[in-house]
A and B are shown apart, each in its own frame.
Chain A
Amino acid sequence: MDTRNFTYMFYGFAAAWLIVVIYVVTLVLRERRLSQEMQRLRDMLSERRRT
Chain B
Amino acid sequence: MREKLMYVLLAGSGALLVWNLSRMLLYLPDEAAQGAIYRIIFFHVPGAFTFSLAVFSALVSSVLYLITRRLPYDTFAASATEIGLAFGAVNLVTGMIWARIIWGIWWAWDPRLTSMLISWLMYAGYLMLRRAIDEPTQRARNAAVLNIFTFPGVIITYKAIDWWRTQHPGPVLSFRSGGGRMDPAMEATLYWNFLALLLLAAALLMVRMRQETTRRELDALRREAHAL
Contacts and interface: CB of A to CB of B under 8 A. Distances in A.
Contacts, number: 84
B211 interface: yes
B204 A27 contact: yes
Contacts of B221: 38, 41-42, 45
Secondary structure at the B interface, as helix, strand, loop or mixed, is helix
> Chain B interface: which size bin?
20 to 34
A22 to B, nearest CB: 8
Given A16-B90, A16-B93, A9 B215 contact: no
B144 to A, nearest CB: 22
Interface string A1-37: 1101110110111011001100110010011001101
B156 interface: no
The 5 A-B pairs at the shortest CB distance, nearest first, are namely A12-B40, A16-B43, A23-B86, A12-B97, A5-B35
Interface of A: 1-2, 4-6, 8-9, 11-13, 15-16, 19-20, 23-24, 27, 30-31, 34-35, 37-38, 41-42, 44-45, 48-49
